[in-house]
Structure 1
Amino acid sequence: MNEQELSQRLTVVGNAVPKGARLADIGSDHAYLPVALMLAGKISYAVCGEVVKGPFHSAQKQVAKSGLNNQIVVRLADGLAAIEAADEIDTITIAGMGGTLIASILEDGKINGQLSGKERLVLQPNVGEQNVRRWLQKEGYEILTESILAENDKIYEVIVAKKTAVKKELSPIEIFFGPHLLAEKNSVFLKKWRQEQQALEKVLGQLQKAKVVPEKKVNEIKQELAWIKEALTC
């Protein structure tokens, strides 16, 4: 297995991992990412964290099959509890989960002392990207780069962040779209938000037909639609 055999989504995540990193891959699912990066000579050490026994055993088998038991440790643990101080982790990847769950994992890791604040975070939420950006801003992380890609009829975003001495405030629009993605507006970004516009317009129409119209939700959707229309026309 090599880096080229990763899915496009995981390849983008892997590209954001620094050379020589000591990596913690949380929710590792077969350990595909750490194994590929280790075989490519990109990382020096890795921890694979899995909270479910099935994927945990799959990750163990993948690491053993690749002959990497001395360089990659697989642990059955919830979130960042997979990380131990002796690991000296400097990069954390969390991919393929909802944004709310990713933010919760990071918050728990911070509270429990597994997240020092010195790590580079490479995060790939399947949905709820705004929740990830809100947590990063609240905790003083700067979003260094963002990527958006389409694979197998799904659109994914990858957010790379590091804590900085000077807190950078994002506007509500930047949290909604992603500051770098909004600045670039590539074809995948435009496709995503055209789809979101159609979906929100449908939901708005249904809400406005309700016997009791939920005004707060209606206004929220109208605001989001106004942002989307502006982003798509500018």
Structure 2
Amino acid sequence: MIRLSKRLGKIAQEVPAGSRLADIGSDHALLPSYLAKQGTIIQGIAGEVNPGPYDAAVKQVRASGLEKVIDVRLGDGLAVIAPGEADVITIAGMGGVLIASILEAGKAKLEGVRRLVLQPNVGEAAVREWLLGNGWFLTGEHILEEDGKIYEILTAVPRTESGADPESLYEPLTMADGITADRAVLLSMGPYLVREASAVWTKKWTYELDKLRKICDNLAGSETEASRSKEAEFRAEMKRIEEVLAACTPKAKP
């Protein structure tokens, strides 16, 4: 029996039944193998750029008896698929900048894709910015904590399928005490997550504030103009985060 981590389990829930899945950076191919065993996907591609994880994925698929359902391929990003070959793509467990670069480099391979499920470890704003700039509507965000780490999972569909304007998600949001979460804040902190203001989300941004304070303390020991400029930039960011955390409650709605 294949068991998924809490993180992968939440990603699995975002994959619709009857999907043809391409899991990019599949590692041990646990996600597609689990979904195939559950009968959720009718076809799967497990893509991996490194030989070690590729071999591990091949072994997993063989051990699960899924060779006819899942094809393990060695290649960089979306180079492992052809246009129209998958209708759902999952990319998890890497930086947001890297995820955005994979999507950008493989734009031609997104033909026929009806859903993206993306889980950046860091740099979530880069993923949101790519989706916004390339005609994808963010339909949902999930945040969870597992083994001391906090993860965000972003799900998006093509604008043509959503029938909604992606820009509408990032219109300034007025919260308590007249505080406004502008476009930059919503791209960074998440348009849905800001409105939900869950305990895990609050914990994440409280931790981010602590990191920024430590950086500013270190910069304060330097008298260079570059250090002063950076410190001012970080303190302005801290102020924005503090204001949103203070004003954001579960009652805040679009």
Task: Give the structure 1 partner of residue 130 of structure 2.
Answer: 135
Superposed, 1:1-234 pairs within 5 Å as 1-2=1-2, 5-85=3-83, 87=85, 89-110=86-107, 113-116=108-111, 118-165=113-160, 166-169=164-167, 170=170, 171-214=183-226, 215-234=228-247
Q: Give SS of 1:25's match.
A: strand
In structure 2, list runs of 5 or more residues that go unmatched: 171-182, 248-254
Paired positions, count: 229
What amino acid is aligned across from residue 230 of structure 2 in structure 1? K
The answer (yes or no) to whether the contact 1:23–1:92 under 8 Å persists in 2 is: yes
TM-score, length of structure 1 as denominator length = 0.94
Q: Tell me: CA distance 1:117–1:130, structure 2 relative to 1, closer, same or farther (3 Å).
A: farther
The answer (yes or no) to whether the contact 1:141–1:167 under 8 Å persists in 2 is: no
The answer (yes or no) to whether the contact 1:91–1:119 under 8 Å persists in 2 is: yes
Aligned-partner Cα distance in 2 for 1:31–1:200:
36
Deviates more, 1:10-19 or 1:203-212: 203-212
The answer (yes or no) to whether the contact 1:25–1:46 under 8 Å persists in 2 is: yes
Aligned-partner Cα distance in 2 for 1:139–1:160:
14
Coordinate RMSD, CA, aligned: 1.4
The answer (yes or no) to whether the contact 1:99–1:130 under 8 Å persists in 2 is: yes
Q: Deviations over 1:46-69 (max 9, x none)?
A: 100000001001101100110110
TM-score, length of structure 2 as denominator length = 0.86
**Alpha-carbon shift at residue 227 of structure 1 (Å):** 1.9
The answer (yes or no) to whether the contact 2:138–2:166 under 8 Å persists in 1 is: no
Deviates more, 1:191-200 or 1:218-227: 218-227
Give me the identity figure in percent: 47
The answer (yes or no) to whether the contact 1:80–1:106 under 8 Å persists in 2 is: yes
Q: Give SS of 1:62's match.
A: helix
Aligned-partner Cα distance in 2 for 1:167–1:83:
28
Q: Give SS of 2:109's match.
A: coil
Q: Deviations over 1:141-166 (max 9, x none)?
A: 11100001100110000000112045
Aligned-partner Cα distance in 1 for 2:72–2:23:
10
In structure 1, list runs of 5 or more residues that go unmatched: none
What amino acid is aligned across from residue 189 of structure 1 in structure 2? W
Detail structure 1 runs of 4+ shifted over 3 Å in the superposition.
none
Q: Give SS of 1:44's match.
A: strand
Aligned-partner Cα distance in 1 for 2:195–2:81:
35
**Alpha-carbon shift at residue 84 of structure 1 (Å):** 1.9
What amino acid is aligned across from residue 17 of structure 2 in structure 1? K
Aligned-partner Cα distance in 2 for 1:18–1:26:
17
**Alpha-carbon shift at residue 131 of structure 1 (Å):** 0.8
Aligned-partner Cα distance in 2 for 1:213–1:156:
36
**Alpha-carbon shift at residue 95 of structure 1 (Å):** 0.4
Aligned-partner Cα distance in 1 for 2:101–2:58:
26
Aligned-partner Cα distance in 1 for 2:229–2:31:
42
Q: Give SS of 2:65's match.
A: coil
Q: Give SS of 1:149's match.
A: strand
Q: Tell me: CA distance 1:86–1:104, structure 2 relative to 1, closer, same or farther (3 Å).
A: closer
